[in-house]
Amino acid sequence: MNQDYIKADNWSIIEEGFDQEMVKSSESLFSIGNGAMGQRANFEESYSGPTFQGSYIAGVYYPDKTRVGWWKNGYPEYFAKVLNAPNWIGINVLVDGETLDLFKCTRVEEFRRELSMKEGWYQRSFSATLQNGVTIKAKITRFLSLDLDELGAIKYDIQVVNNDAEITFIPYLDSGITNEDSNWDDKFWNTTSVSSKGNRAFIEAHTMKTNFGTCTFMEAQLFHEGKKIEITPSETKEETFIGHSYPHHVKKGETLSLHKFGGYTVSTNHKAKELIKAADSVISEAIEIGFEALLEKQKKAWHAIWQMSDIAIEGDVKAQQGIRFNIFQLNQTYLGKDSRLNIGPKGFTGEKYGGSTYWDTEAYCIPFYMATKDHKVARSLLKYRYEHLEKAIENAQKLGFSNGAALYPMVTMNGEECHNEWEITFEEIHRNGAIAFAIYNYYRFTGDYSYIPEMGLEVLIGIARFWHQRANYSESKEKYVILGVTGPNEYENNVNNNWYTNYLAKWCIEYTIEQLQKVKDGYPDDYARIIGHTYLTSNETDLWKDVAENMYFPFSEKYNVFLQQDGFLDKELITVDNLDKSQRPINQKWSWDRILRSPYIKQADILQGFYLFEDHFTVEELQRHFDFYEPFTVHESSLSPCVHSIQAAKLDRMEQAYKFYLRTSRLDLDDYNKEVEEGLHITSMAGTWMSVVEGFGGLRILEDKLSFTPRIPKGWKSYSFKINFRNRILKVIVTKEETRFKLEGSEQMSIRLNGQRLELRPHEEISA
Amino acid sequence: MNQDYIKADNWSIIEEGFDQEMVKSSESLFSIGNGAMGQRANFEESYSGPTFQGSYIAGVYYPDKTRVGWWKNGYPEYFAKVLNAPNWIGINVLVDGETLDLFKCTRVEEFRRELSMKEGWYQRSFSATLQNGVTIKAKITRFLSLDLDELGAIKYDIQVVNNDAEITFIPYLDSGITNEDSNWDDKFWNTTSVSSKGNRAFIEAHTMKTNFGTCTFMEAQLFHEGKKIEITPSETKEETFIGHSYPHHVKKGETLSLHKFGGYTVSTNHKAKELIKAADSVISEAIEIGFEALLEKQKKAWHAIWQMSDIAIEGDVKAQQGIRFNIFQLNQTYLGKDSRLNIGPKGFTGEKYGGSTYWDTEAYCIPFYMATKDHKVARSLLKYRYEHLEKAIENAQKLGFSNGAALYPMVTMNGEECHNEWEITFEEIHRNGAIAFAIYNYYRFTGDYSYIPEMGLEVLIGIARFWHQRANYSESKEKYVILGVTGPNEYENNVNNNWYTNYLAKWCIEYTIEQLQKVKDGYPDDYARIIGHTYLTSNETDLWKDVAENMYFPFSEKYNVFLQQDGFLDKELITVDNLDKSQRPINQKWSWDRILRSPYIKQADILQGFYLFEDHFTVEELQRHFDFYEPFTVHESSLSPCVHSIQAAKLDRMEQAYKFYLRTSRLDLDDYNKEVEEGLHITSMAGTWMSVVEGFGGLRILEDKLSFTPRIPKGWKSYSFKINFRNRILKVIVTKEETRFKLEGSEQMSIRLNGQRLELRPHEEISA
């Protein structure tokens, strides 16, 4: 943890001072993205110190051959790696012939980074003295355009401070890049052409195996004291590299600027043969508009996003900065424009984990996107799973299931499983339940039932079939049991009767049966189509029902709580506060067997179930389970604090709720887990949003209406957020004294506040 | 399975006919070894078809950097690989300038291999026509000397059949070898010198990291029609290769022979600087003696081994061949001369698994070596663990244990753990119990108590401390439980209260406390020394006792059996005979999760406990547990059938016992598991010996005396074996009608036969 590293600020992420040790962490924190591509905050100029280079294109992956110590039947042969893409940001800078490299400069001062979350740009400035004695000041501004999402732009200003100097900018493209986490040191990219056309350059490269075609492109413009210099650059061309050289003599005190436009055109959006042509047209448009005007458009586009998705907090800058950082990163990662994409756990900020899609999407991200975007975005995420249904059925077949049972992968890029730890790949099957729940949740929130007859019911049938087959009847318990699973708490492996998994299984079956009836009644054509190809019979659904009705749930009479799994009470039940601090985090200090046999919980497990199915349990039951389990919870998953924050708020334990809130919202900014250099925790950021809106705001959908039970942390003056509920936009402002509502649009709306009905009329602010 | 591949024969392993598909399997089956080195039956001459090259030197290993998909804390960084050693057997053969290569010959006939188990040599003969039309007949005889255990000898005879021909033998040494199972394609060997001296050649090479120095050496002699040809060979020398060329013109019908002597001197037995000198002296001795006289010595040496360890079976050639193959391989692998060595699971026949020492040694191999060798051999195996005690304590510390608790590694070469599957490395802790049991068993059989005060008690204390710390008190069960283990049945992972593990833990503690008292009373100096550095107090042993006395054992009232682990009865209890044959072996057909949640048992687990602690349970209890568990057992471990054979014999189910016997004794000869090409299953071969002597013969030690309850399989006329019991050699012959005993030596001996006491006098045959 490093609480003072990032300066507190309402709207920006700011680093001051140059610390070589922090370069990799800052590269993560200052990452930028526009949903279609993204990149770590690598320096444009040369840097010979420790760095983790990363540029990523949404949806472009490589099936790296799996490497495991001991192979188990059923492991996937390939792991879909998030691919480090060709570098277009590079600008080598020569100062009187010496390469600018902050690692080698004799002095670096006034180093500052700022990521403007409000406006969507990243700026770096510093003063540096090179080994040749020349001192320069630099200011570099960079953004990835939201409007032209194949385009990025960089403005690199250099002022010569103590001398006249010859400055040479060498903007370049480089496709000779590798992944840090390659399993077999395979070459992932094959470069097929390197070319120039005046000030433009192009590198065509395609990925091996998956054959995604890309054209990486650039064009640069040189300005001396703001005046454009027409210059034909000299070219350096290699097999996977092209650089253009822009030398210019600059007098002491003068500024030389390079505007570089670059980016990618990709065969998923263009014909493979027309990638250069498409790139050419993007550059022409960019040049036509120009850097400054593009930046203005960028600010406007981000303004529009914030209009809808901002959460404003008064009285607590760090809390404010935290939530905005989370919302900003979610929007940088996924904007919902393309149903082939999803929300990778590290977004465009690192390679770790690979794949783009985890159960995080359904369990944590969908609520954020539903409430802050058009409902099509959430629908697009659901459609993604529908499109992978065939592969989920194949995946289940590989593991011995039949008859259309579907097991969605733990990690995927294209619908195929690509993870290979048996205790997770084969056993962390609750992910299936999160997908079914998201279908339910989507309809509950948006009121758009159409997804279910059109697509969702088939997904539900595959999932219900899986649960039916995965459970088995225990003669000894006279109940159905689910053996050998890993619950959300991954600090238990291969356990029997994980309560959360069993509960989801039962619920999935019941919900599917309900939806079958509803579709049969209301959408007979869809029903006929679906029954026609799933061959579902009432015989089969009777068998499902038997499983659901007779599911086993481990329970302790003594503590009057459900047990996380069979045998939980055999553990040494020493709470976390009795654990020596030197032993934590246990995932770094303890061997795996010790973690497994301990009672310590990585992330909400039973409490995750209580979160999803809140209305199935009383507050008193929640309190009992919270009091029993939270003391054993080490929250070593980024997905844990948000759910606990929501539950603590519901129990009116606002100090605890606030502590959890800070941990989830500033997880990366304060580097709680000492690993931010590997990239950001994107999916848990949606959990932070939930902890404000659902936790503090108490947002629920009750009887088709929004309902709030607002609470406010002690140190806050107020907080506010907006909700897009069924195409009506509601702004909610919570202060210590009251809650105010402002409804946009033209229709009125009925809500509940602390259980009381409230009628809202458009453009009228109501306080209560 | 391939039942007719090896010809049935009482004393030899015979293959007839050349099948390229079978070359790798035969390379395993015809392997030879002399305890100090060993090699697969690779061809001496060139072979361009599929082959698995392997020569191994006992104790020479390489710590290959571990490669796992997902790292867990506590994993060892290195895995001790059994190293493929430089090749000294190679002899390229040119026939009129064309390289003899059976993969390329136009015709190969009369191909035959024979491994004489009786005399310890391997012979291969064939007739081949080369592409140049020359037909030759070849006969190659090879052995690794038991007398000079750094030496091997080859006699390569070629008769020219249809023409005169120029034959050139090029015997060579080659240190440019690699391992098939290298993790990172590291280079394991560094060659430092390649030299010749007349007809002798030497390659010095040392292993990377471990720095084992070796000199690989050879000298050859040429004979034409039996007459020695004096010739100075021309030399081919490369960085890691040296070849000597012996050309000679041979007339049609004549025979040219090359005698090649070769082998290794190793820095573990000589000064590193004197390896060539030592090699020179070995060759000089070999040349002095000559091939034929060396072979005579070899026959005598094997005769001596068989004198003591043979099991003769009349009336069942396949059963006879099977048991002799097992005994032969055990003796090829380990002769007990060097306490630094142990019994690798693949011996000198392959690389798979790595490491040399598993719990197999204590649980399966020690009984064989105790009964067929001087007791020093078993003592040497026990001493090996004593010498690794420090590392076992370090290993436990890494996993969070303290105060001298010892966890012996699952797999080791030098005392350090080198396996890395968490469910095995960290959880298959019953191995500690097997080591304690072997101490008990050694004293029970040999009567040599001295090991315990001198060494064993310290091992026992480390193990008892481990069990005490590994168990925890369950408030809910009001008993001590052992959570998160893998029992001998590796088809269950991370289970709670594996009965076998809990039983061993309890027994280890009780046995240690017993021995503490015994050493205190009888060996006060040793006791003082041990207490002095273990700081053991009666306080601590009281805590141990509490664990042992209050250990939990899962039990089913319904079935009146102990449960293999908590929750076993929740499984779908479908017996193996109801499993479709297409589904087996399940370890090749099913995904790992499916295996784990099935009731199927890989190898004896509870029944392994009943085997070790036979006297703790009634025959009726054994029968009940056998009837309950065997039907769920798939015997997919090589260590399973032997224990079941013994138990079935005890229950007088001789048909079943015989079936298990065949499976264990001919596992490799008939390739039950379709993997013999990877190497032989050496350690389970000792189980085969047990299944005859303990199973059919009913050998037990009761009240310090040998006891027998002999049974004989239906098809057998008789079988006989010898037992070295406390330095008295007893031969036992069992026929359908009677059992005969012959005692060697000069002392008389009292035994039990079917519960009746019998007095045996030396050299008198007693029938009963």
Q: Indicate yes or no: CB of B494 within 8 angstroms of CB of A496.
A: no
Question: Residue A107: which pLDDT band, with cuts at 50, 70 and 90?
Answer: very high
Cβ contact (<8 Å) for A400 and B571? Answer: no
Nearest to A73 among B68, B74, B591 (CB): B591
Catalytic residues of A: 490
Record the tokens describing residue B650, joined without a space: 């005890």
The H or E element containing residue A743 is strand A739-743
Whole-number Å distance between alpha carbons of A644 and A630: 8
* Residues of B in Cβ contact (< 8 Å) with A422: 592-593
Structure tokens at B383: 């001493």
User: Does A570 sit within 8 Å of B567, measured CB to CB?
Assistant: no
**To the nearest whole angstrom, how far is the Cα of A588 from the nearest Cα of chain B?**
7
Name the minimum distance, in Å, from the CA of A571 to any CA of chain B: 6
Is A34's pLDDT higher than 80? yes
Q: Is the pLDDT of residue B292 over 90?
A: yes
- The token pair at A192 is 């097929």
* Dihedral, CA of residue A20, residue A23, residue A24 and residue A28, to nearest 10: 160
What residue type is assigned to position B30 of the chain? F
**Contact present, B463 and B455 (Cβ < 8 Å):** no
Identify the pLDDT of residue A80: 84
Comparing CB atoms, the residue among B72, B398, B476 nearest residue A570 is: B476
CB contact under 8 A, B73 and A472: no
Check whether A67 has a pLDDT greater than 80: no
Task: Please name the residue that has the structure tokens 């069960």.
Answer: B477
d(CA B360, CA B428): 13
- Residue B658 is classified by DSSP as H
pLDDT of residue A133: 97
What size, in residues, is chain B? 768
Q: Which two tokens stand for residue B79?
A: 């895995």
Which residue in B has a C-alpha nearest to residue A66's C-alpha?
A: B69
How many CA atoms, within 13 angstroms, populate the side-chain half-sphere of residue B400? 21
pLDDT digits (tens, 9 = 90+) for B92-110: 999 999 999 999 999 999 9
Q: B539: which residues sit within 8 A by CB, 6+ positions away? A: none
**Cα dihedral across residues A591, A596, A597, A601: positive or negative:** positive
CA dihedral B404, B408, B414, B419 (to 10 degrees): -130
With a cut of 90, say whether residue A270 has pLDDT above it.
yes
Is residue A375 pLDDT above 80, yes or no? yes
Query: How far apart (Å, rounded) are the C-alpha atoms in residues B749 and B38?
Result: 39
Nearest to B72 among A481, A497, A592 (CB): A592
Are A453 and A519 a contacting pair, CB within 8 Å?
Answer: yes
| CA–CA distance, B634 with B623 (Å, rounded to integer) | 18
Does residue A369 register a pLDDT over 80? Answer: yes
pLDDT of residue B185: 72
Helix, strand or coil, per DSSP, at residue B90: coil
Q: Which residue has the tokens 């090879």?
A: B142
pLDDT of amino acid A363: 95
**Average pLDDT of the residues of chain A:** 96
Mean predicted lDDT score pLDDT of chain B? 96
Longest Cα–Cα distance of chain A, Å, equals 89
Enumerate the residues of chain B whose CB falls inside 8 A of the CB of residue A77.
Answer: none
Kindly list the residues from chain B whose CB atom is less than 8 angstroms away from the CB atom of residue A477.
570
Q: In what order do the strands lie in the sheet with A234-238?
A: A98-99, A91-95, A165-174, A241-250, A234-238
Q: Is the pLDDT of residue A79 over 90?
A: no
ω before B762 within 30° of 0 (cis)?
no
Res A529 pLDDT > 90: yes
Pair B25, B676: CB distance under 8 Å: yes
The single residue listed with the structure tokens 């690389």 is B351
Interval A682-709: pLDDT, tens: 999 999 999 999 999 999 999 999 999 9
| DSSP letters spanning B493-511 | -SBS--HHHHHHHHHHHHH
Q: Report how far residue A641's alpha carbon sits from residue A660's, in angstroms, rounded to the nearest whole number.
A: 5
For residue A352, the chain B residue with the least C-alpha distance is: B70
- Judging contacts by C-beta atoms under 8 Å, the chain A residues touching residue B73 are 587-592
Report the SS3 class of residue B587.
Answer: helix
CB contact (8 A) between residue A398 and residue B596: no
Judging contacts by C-beta atoms under 8 Å, the chain A residues touching residue B551 are: none
Mean pLDDT within B142-163 = 97
CB count in 10 Å sphere of residue B344:
30
Which of B591, B594, B628 to mutate against chain A (most A CBs within 10 Å)?
Answer: B591
pLDDT at A182 over 80: no
Strand (E) or helix (H) holding B764: none
Token pair recorded at residue A543: 């068998």
Determine the pLDDT at residue B351. 86
Distance CA A378, CA A370 (A): 6
Q: In this complex, do A476 and B587 lie within 8 Å of one another by their Cβ atoms?
A: no
Amino acid occupying residue B641: P
The 10s digit of each residue's pLDDT in B538-574 is 999 999 999 999 999 999 999 999 999 999 999 999 9
- Predicted pLDDT of residue B65: 83
CB–CB of A69 and B73 under 8 A? no
Q: What phi and psi values does residue B389 have, to the nearest 5 degrees?
A: -60, -45
Shortest distance between the Cα of B591 and any Cα of chain A, in A, equals 5
pLDDT over 90 at B323, yes or no = yes
Q: pLDDT tens digits for A119-143?
A: 999 999 999 999 999 999 999 999 9
Provide the angle, in degrees to the nearest 10, between the axes of the packed helices A457-470 and A389-398.
10
Among the residue ranges A418-422, B157-161, B215-219, B350-354, the one predicted with the least confidence is B350-354
Judged by CB atoms closer than 8 Å, whether chains meet at B591 and A472 is answered as no
pLDDT for residue A68 is more than 80: no
In whole angstroms, give the CA distance from residue B156 to residue B262. Answer: 14
Of B67, B400, B590, the CB nearest to A594: B400
pLDDT (tens digit per residue) in A626-645: 999 999 999 999 999 999 99
Q: Chain A: nearest CA to B350, how far in angstroms?
A: 18
- CA B1 to chain A, closest CA, distance in angstroms equals 21
Contact in structure between B567 and A566 (CB atoms under 8 Å): yes
- Chain A contact set for B426 (CB, 8 A): 591-593
- Residue A353's closest chain B neighbor by CA? B70
Nearest to A496 among B70, B427, B570 (CB): B570
Search chain B and give the residue with CA nearest A474. Answer: B570
Shortest alpha-carbon distance between residue A188 and chain B (Å) = 19
Q: Measured between beta carbons, which residues in chain A are less than 8 angstroms from residue B570?
A: 472, 474, 476-477, 481, 483, 496-497, 566
So what's the pLDDT on residue B278?
98
- Give the best residue of A394, A429, A553, A597 to mutate against chain B (max B CB count within 10 A): A597
The partner residue sitting opposite A570, judged by closest CB among B420, B421, B481, is B481
Asked whether the beta carbons of A586 and B72 are under 8 A apart, the reply is no
Distances (CA, A) of B176 to A347, B112, B238, B240, B352: 47, 30, 10, 5, 20
The answer to whether residues B51 and B23 touch, using CB atoms and an 8 Å cutoff, is yes
**C-beta of residue A34 within 8 angstroms of C-beta of residue A144:** yes
In this predicted structure, what is the pLDDT of residue A65? 83
Indicate yes or no: CB of A73 within 8 angstroms of CB of B477. Answer: no
Residues of A whose CB is below 8 A from B398:
591
Q: Which of A399, A420, A493 lies at the smallest CB-CB distance from B69?
A: A420
Annotated catalytic residues of B are 490
Cross-chain residue pair A483–B597, CB shorter than 8 Å: yes
pLDDT in tens, A437-477: 999 999 999 999 999 999 999 999 999 999 999 999 999 99
DSSP reduced 3-state for B763: coil
How much of chain A, in percent, has pLDDT values that exceed 90? 92
Measured between beta carbons, the chain A residues lying within 8 angstroms of B74 are 591-593
Nearest of B612, B603, B614 to residue B564 by alpha carbon: B603
Instruction: Work out whether strand A312-314 and strand A472-474 pair parallel, antiparallel, or are unpaired.
Output: unpaired
Contact A476 B70 (CB under 8 A): no
Which of the four pLDDT bands, split at 50, 70 and 90, describes residue A580? very high
d(CA A7, CA A5): 6
User: Would you say the C-alpha torsion A234, A238, A239, A243 has a positive or negative sign?
Assistant: negative
The mean per-residue pLDDT over the stretch A88-100 comes to 98
Contacts of B586 in chain A (CB under 8 A): none
Provide the shortest C-alpha distance from residue A170 to chain B (in Å).
38
**A676-679: long-range pairs with CB below 8 Å, 24+:** A676/A25, A676/A28, A676/A29, A677/A24, A677/A25, A677/A27, A677/A28, A677/A52, A678/A28, A678/A52, A678/A346, A678/A350, A678/A352, A679/A28, A679/A31, A679/A40, A679/A54, A679/A346, A679/A347, A679/A349, A679/A350, A679/A351, A679/A352
For an interface test with A, give the residue of B570, B571, B636 to mutate (most A CBs within 10 A): B570
Are B475 and A569 a contacting pair at CB < 8 A?
A: yes
Size of interface A-B (CB pairs under 8 A): 134
Place of tokens 């129990």: A651
A571 vs B483, B494, B556: nearest CB = B483
pLDDT of residue A606: 98
Closest CA in chain B for residue A426: B593
Distance CA(A540)–CA(A219), nearest Å, equals 62
Q: How many CA atoms lie within 13 A of A301 on its CB side?
A: 21
A401 pLDDT exceeds 80? yes
Tokens at A236, concatenated: 């350096």
Q: What is the mean pLDDT of the segment spanning B147-158?
A: 98
pLDDT (tens digit per residue) in A537-561: 999 999 999 999 999 999 999 999 9
Residue in chain B closest to A419 (alpha carbons) equals B69
Q: Which of B426, B570, B592 is closest, CB to CB, to A73?
A: B592
Distance from CA of A85 to the nearest CA of B (A): 24
Q: Which of A570, A571, A595, A600 to mutate to test the interface with B (most CBs of B within 10 A)?
A: A570
**Confidence tier at B679 by pLDDT (50, 70, 90):** very high
Band (A190; pLDDT cuts 50, 70, 90): very high
Distance from CA of B456 to the nearest CA of A (A): 28
**Cβ-count burial of A51 within 10 angstroms (0-12 exposed, 13-18 middle, 19+ buried)?**
middle
Q: A261 with A286: CB under 8 angstroms?
A: yes
